[in-house]
Structure formats: structure tokens, C-alpha cells
Structure 1
């Protein structure tokens, strides 16, 4: 593990129990993103999904806000069932064909289509904060990640450190997350679900088994509905039951996963938080308390951010083929522009020039946030390419303009292997044991 800032007087220790793992899980992430875009949705029942428009017959709920859940709407539910529980607010229009005069405003909600590109752009801002707060980050999906913060804090103040993370995300991005802190990955994940939304649960060394003991088996990390049913058929109702059981029948029933269930029910989990792969891009963003209209302050931010991402790429030994900018206009209109280069380069001056040029489109617009990124990364220990070579070879045409639909979506900013779920068939980290439909929905 890399050496990083550590609280004074805190000594490093190789004991696994001294590891401090955070699991950060966004609350109803898709719905939260929609509320960023439409502030009027705050406090209202919001359902994000597909198949609710007239003429569509197949669809599912991707996420339901906590207000919508009070009506019986759930993630992965058929959209037709969701509409029975919570009709669309549009149904209150007296001119609508499906207007029901018996409905009141309080009995309806808002439905919005899934917009993964937008959600990924918000997620990239959260990821930047996570990477700034931890030396090691394992991104599991668009809305959750593990952090090893052992070198950043101490158990005595771990709750304050975790709250610092949640506060930064709320203040700088505008969404809420729940955090679980524990000595192991599996316990941290369970803890993050323990007190949603906006929850913080800390399970300290020596407390893991006691924390897990009363939990029903379907709350154990990696246990889905089928496994939970089979465990109950074996007479195992709680984590304590699994921890006290003979592990051999578990191995016979579930193979090696049975041993894993036994170990994790006892609080034993020696997995380390490890990144899932090399990042696909690096980005930095800066937000203003009030929208900025004057060009000069925005260009100063662009130059600072360009220098920061280019410096990080150089420190990480990365070359880049794409330079991009972001401009977020009120209330949350996300615009991205990018330019592809003729080949991979390492040149901070080029990043700054391209970023400034791409941003000219927004120089007179009111902007609440700006960002710069380098993408399509290649990692090389030597033979760093220079900008002059590529520009000379292209005879001034070494870069081509792309619009916001550039081939390397902003979602991969600072990501691992870029496998965030973008469709109902996308797969989560196999270690989480989640079904493919669950991958699409947002808890």
C-alpha cells in the first residue's frame, strides 16, 4: 500500500484488524441524479425506469426514490405494477385520456427514463472525490466502491473521516451516499446498507462477529434469494447460525462458496481492496457557489484543471489520445466536448491549449462547474511521446473534434476497467453475487 498522509501519532500495523475499509454506496442514485437536473422533484416520489410511455408493453423499474417506495414501488419491479401502485403525475392533467378524477396529487409520482450517460457524468464527480480521499479504490459499479483508508485515518476517528467523505459528496456533487466502515470488505458492505439513506455505520475491530450475528442470512454478503432459501431449509436463519454450523454440509451444498459463507458469517474475510484495473481516464472538476458568466475566471479554472490532469497522467506513467472538457450550466445541464489526437502523447501544454479551445463554446454562458479530462489512456514505462512529434506528423491536423458523443464516455473517468452497468444485462463484480437484473437497478 502506498504511503500517504496519516494522522499524527498513528503507527502503521500489518495486522488485518487494523485495516480500515469503507464501502460507499449511493442512495437511489439514478433518482438523485434526476433531482439534480430537476430540483422540483426533490421530496416527490420519483421512479426511473423504462416501459412506462404509451404503447410500450415491456419495462422495469431501475430505481424508486424512498418516497415512491412508500407506495410499494420497488427496484426491478415490472413497470406496469409500479404504475398500479403509483400512477404518473401527468394523469392529473384534466385533458389526459387516462385522467382519474379520484386521484389526488399525493397519490401520484414522477417517472423518468434511464439516462446512463448523464448518470455516468455525475458518478465521475463522485469517483474523483473517492480517489482524493483514499490511496486505494475498488470501483464496483456506477454507484458503489470500496476504499482502503488505513493510511489516511485511524479507528479512533474513522467515523469523522467517513462523514467527511459523505459531506464532500453532498456539498460538491449534490447526491447522498451511505458508508459502512469495517476491518473487512464484506462487513463494510453490509454496514453501508444498515442505515440508509445518508447512513454511516462503523464496525470496529473485534466487533464484526457480534455485528453480524443477529442478521438474517439473506443480508450476508453474496447471499441472494435462492441461497437464502436453501440456508433456511438447512435450519440456518441468521449469520450466527451459519457461524456456529458445521462447515462441511455448507461445502457439500454450495461448493467452495459454502466455506466462504461460513468464514464471512464469522467475520473472517482476508480480501484486500484492490483496483480492478488501469484507469481509462483522468479528470478534475471545479464548482462555483454561483454560476460564473465572465470568461476569464472560467479560463483560469480550465488552465488549472488542465495542468492537474496532465500532471497526474505523467505521475501515473500514462499517455492519452483524447482531451475533453465539461461545462455544467444551471440547473444541471451537463455538456461535454472532446478532441481525439493522432496518437498517444504526454504534453501538458497541448492539454491546456485544446481544453481552452474546446471551452470557447461556453465562454459567455453562466457555468456552475467546469472540468478537464484526458482519456483513452495508454500506460508505458518509457518512450513517452511528445506533442511536437504528433503535431508535426499531422501537419497541424493532429487532432479531430468530437462532440459530446465522443467514443470514450465521461463515465470512465478515473475508473477501473469501465464495467459499470449500463443495461439490464450488464454484470456487476462477481464477488458481489448480484443478478444481472439487480445490476441494472439502483438501490
Structure 2
């Protein structure tokens, strides 16, 4: 039976019906801002980019559901969005013109996009998703598909999905909506069906009936333009598309017309597959309460370091960077990373470097910690350890004259360090090498800080799909 969380008493059943989950964070950017500022809960929140007070430029990236009730939409000009939101005068309670009635009015809040912070929260969510499913397809920073066929059974699929929702709420602090269905397209639609904080299960044999009454615009892959064209053809609902002659659909939309026809009928044979090779592997663990004693923290570091190194070995990956994360109360995210001279596979080295990087936090209260290996390389060549690289470096230094040719050897993968990239090492067995000569890159992301210095790989995580989904794309405004 596969490793990983599984409901007690449940064994994966042999079935031809896949169990697919679509996990979608609700108003992700706004949820992250509320995680950082709990006082924003229940208030309209607009997250945008390119806006300065007094200017008319800038656009909404996402808005909380409370803000949407006032007519705020993604891609809307921020100046327009703020006009829609209720405003409250900033009056001190002791002021002569203080109006208690005015103080009770809702107030809208604007926050600028902070992608580094959002990515750190997304990485925490991804860790849980990869722990709960054998196969994860990360679509964007805030949504992913999971195939959990080997982890649960249809009879208790709703309980398994709720387990994931509860873990994300408890360990990360945000809400997600989940759709469960035997196909990817139906799971995607189901996750949108009962937002926010929704859970909709569409069991095998129920897909076509579930889709039938839905407006064509709600079909997966149908936008406003396609929906208008479908209506021009007299097709208003999924049931209408499913009952239509597919030939006119193909004539109008090409092969996509056949796809629309199939999906309206609940037919979708796509499998959940990861999007390319991951850029890093990470594991994190949260304490029930902040811990100051070093011993339990280093015990967790050892466990997490072994887990990420084992994952890298199983996936056939070498790594050039080792990093740690320490989250201090209330949500002060700190990361540290060290770049190695070259790609290695060395579990003991991961543990040693992780301990060294974590040393500055060993007596501080920590609510969550993590270990990460990054700058991955997937190859069929013999695995190497740091010993091989150091031997190669020493050999190269003996053989090469001391001539400065102006090339610092920085290939952009080492976080901006000026370490020379050594020539390919000779074959070596996997074992812990002597003291590493790699330099350390300290990466600090503290709550509310905008002057963070990060290595070039720090935005990558175990899925590393960093294009926002369910939000307005940043590239649309750059």
C-alpha cells in the first residue's frame, strides 16, 4: 500500500474510475494578506499592482468576496475599485467629531502585491498536497489537481478531501475549495461550485447529471467569447451541448469543438500528470505551539532533511542548494540557503548544512520549520557527492595556470555567488564529504518587509508553478 495519509480502515480499491481532486485557494492573495494581518478578516480587501495614491494607473490582481460584493473585479483599475469600496475616516475615539455610527461602517483595504510572501504560503500548501497524493499537477500558485485513487476510495472520498482542507486550514491558515470527480474537467467545475471554502463531490455515474443544468460559460475551457458563440448556436447549457450534433461544433471551433462536446457529456480521459521536472523538494512541519527548546527543533530538522534527501534519491535528482525555513510567531517567515560547488546526492550533507543554517533560530520560538533542496538536475549519470567535486576542484587548480580570463564562472544557479563552476567530477560513491567550501546565501523574508534579498532559486518550490491562477496575471500589467 502506498505511503502517506490514508483514512483508517480504507484500502485503495481496484477501480477504473479515477479519484481526482481540484484544489483551489479562495481569493489567494487576499487570504495571504489576512494571514499576515488578521485584523483584515471580514473586511473588503483589494490586492493590486502598479498603483500609487493620487494616480489613476494600477490594476486589481484579486479581491476578497466582501470586496466583490461592492463591484470590485480582477483587472479593474484600482482607482475605480477603491471608489466602489466603503471608506471610513481615520478618527481617534477621543476626537471631538468622533462618530461611533461612522466607525461601525465597513472599510475597504488596499494592499500591494507581494509575490515573495504569497509564494512562501503557496509552498506550505504544496507540501501538504504532495504529502496527500501520489500525483500532483500544479497549475498555478493557487490551484492544483491531485490523483488520490491509490490513497482512498470513492465511498469516503469526501472525508479524504475534507482531511486535506482541514490540514491546510490548520497548518497554513487559509481556506481552499475542493472539487472531487472522476475527471479533471468535472473536478475543476466542482471546485468552483460552492465557493468559498467549498467541497463538492461528483461520483462516477453522476457527472453528466451534475453538468447538465450548468450554463455553458461554466464548462471547463469556455470563456465569455466561446459562450457567446455557443448561445448564437442555440446552446445555453451543458445539456444542450451534450445533446447537440458534434459536427457543427467541430466546424465552428475545430478540434476544440469535439472537446467541448465530450466534456459536456462528462467524458475526459486526461490523466493527472506533473508539469515537467520540479525545481526543488521541500518538507515542512508545524508545532502545535511555538517551540524555543533546541532539541525538538533539531530532531525535526533531522527528520525533514532525511525526507527531502530520500525524495531526491527516489526521483533521481541531484541538488546544488540546501535551504531551511523558520517561521516565527505570528507569521515571520525566514529562509536561509547555501549553494554548493556542484550538484550532489548526499543525505548526510543535507542534514549537516540544514543544522548549520538553522543555528541562529535554535533558541527562538518557532512555530514551523522546513528543509529544502533546490537547483535540481535530473540525470542518469553516476550520482556524486561533495567529495567528487572537491577532488575535481583540487585537480583543476593543480593543472590550470593562475590566469584571470574575466569569467567568474557564475552560471546564475548559485544565487549570485561568484563560486567557479568546477569541471565534471570523476565517478565517486555517495558519502558525506569533508567540510564544504560552498558559500552561504542568507535569505530573509520577514513579515511586512519589502527589502528582502533572495537567491535566484528562492522563488522555486516543489512544484514551482509560480504563475498566479484565479488571479490577474502580473505579466498583463508589466
Q: TM-score, with normalisation over the residues of structure 1?
A: 0.88
Cα deviation per residue 1:86-115 (whole Å; 9 max; x = unaligned)?
1566x5358xxxx99996552421111111
Using a 3 Å threshold, how does the CA distance of structure 1 residues 394 and 332 change in structure 2: closer, same or farther?
farther
Aligned counterpart, 2:462: 414
1:296 Cα offset (Å): 2.8
Rounded to whole Å, the distance in 2 between the matches of 1:253 and 1:238 is: 17
Rounded to whole Å, the distance in 2 between the matches of 1:105 and 1:78 is: 27
Q: Indicate whether 1:144 and 2:143 are aligned.
A: yes
Rounded to whole Å, the distance in 1 between the matches of 2:109 and 2:54 is: 18
Q: Indicate whether 1:12 and 2:10 are aligned.
A: no
Q: CA RMSD in A?
A: 2.5
SS in 2 for 1:106: coil
Using a 3 Å threshold, how does the CA distance of structure 1 residues 93 and 400 change in structure 2: closer, same or farther?
farther
Deviates more, 1:389-398 or 1:183-192: 389-398
Number of aligned residue pairs: 418
Tell me if the contact between 2:135 and 2:147 (Cα under 8 Å) persists in the aligned partners: yes
Tell me if the contact between 1:51 and 1:57 (Cα under 8 Å) persists in the aligned partners: no
Aligned counterpart, 2:40: 41
Rounded to whole Å, the distance in 2 between the matches of 1:408 and 1:47 is: 29
1:134 Cα offset (Å): 0.9
- 2:90 equivalent among 89, 92, 97: 92
Cα deviation per residue 1:370-425 (whole Å; 9 max; x = unaligned)?
1110000111234100122234555756311112201112x43211xx34216xxx
Tell me if the contact between 2:74 and 2:472 (Cα under 8 Å) persists in the aligned partners: no
Cα deviation per residue 1:68-95 (whole Å; 9 max; x = unaligned)?
2222222222211111111566x5358x
SS in 1 for 2:234: coil
Q: Indicate whether 1:402 and 2:441 are aligned.
A: yes
Rounded to whole Å, the distance in 2 between the matches of 1:20 and 1:149 is: 6
Structure 2 spans left out of the alignment, 5+ residues = 395-434, 444-453
Q: TM-score, with normalisation over the residues of structure 2?
A: 0.82
Tell me if the contact between 1:44 and 1:109 (Cα under 8 Å) persists in the aligned partners: yes
Tell me if the contact between 1:36 and 1:331 (Cα under 8 Å) persists in the aligned partners: no
Aligned counterpart, 1:425: none
Aligned counterpart, 1:219: 218
Rounded to whole Å, the distance in 2 between the matches of 1:275 and 1:116 is: 23
Rounded to whole Å, the distance in 2 between the matches of 1:136 and 1:283 is: 16
Tell me if the contact between 1:390 and 1:398 (Cα under 8 Å) persists in the aligned partners: no
Using a 3 Å threshold, how does the CA distance of structure 1 residues 348 and 271 change in structure 2: closer, same or farther?
same
Rounded to whole Å, the distance in 2 between the matches of 1:262 and 1:268 is: 9
1:159 Cα offset (Å): 0.7
Rounded to whole Å, the distance in 2 between the matches of 1:384 and 1:108 is: 58
Tell me if the contact between 2:60 and 2:75 (Cα under 8 Å) persists in the aligned partners: yes
Deviates more, 1:49-58 or 1:133-142: 49-58
Tell me if the contact between 2:320 and 2:374 (Cα under 8 Å) persists in the aligned partners: yes
Using a 3 Å threshold, how does the CA distance of structure 1 residues 382 and 12 change in structure 2: closer, same or farther?
farther
Computing the radius of gyration from Cα coordinates, the structure with the larger value is: 2
Using a 3 Å threshold, how does the CA distance of structure 1 residues 4 and 296 change in structure 2: closer, same or farther?
closer
Rounded to whole Å, the distance in 2 between the matches of 1:391 and 1:87 is: 63
Aligned counterpart, 2:404: none
Aligned counterpart, 2:166: 167
1:136 Cα offset (Å): 0.9
Tell me if the contact between 1:31 and 1:46 (Cα under 8 Å) persists in the aligned partners: yes
Deviating beyond 3 angstroms after TM superposition, the runs of 4 or more aligned structure 1 residues are 2-11, 99-105, 391-397, 436-441
Rounded to whole Å, the distance in 1 between the matches of 2:129 and 2:106 is: 38
Q: Indicate whether 1:195 and 2:187 are aligned.
A: no
Rounded to whole Å, the distance in 2 between the matches of 1:227 and 1:104 is: 46
Tell me if the contact between 2:133 and 2:148 (Cα under 8 Å) persists in the aligned partners: yes
Tell me if the contact between 1:214 and 1:239 (Cα under 8 Å) persists in the aligned partners: yes
Deviates more, 1:181-190 or 1:380-389: 380-389
1:65 Cα offset (Å): 1.2
Structure 1 spans left out of the alignment, 5+ residues = 423-427, 429-433
Using a 3 Å threshold, how does the CA distance of structure 1 residues 189 and 88 change in structure 2: closer, same or farther?
same
SS in 1 for 2:163: helix
Tell me if the contact between 2:61 and 2:472 (Cα under 8 Å) persists in the aligned partners: no
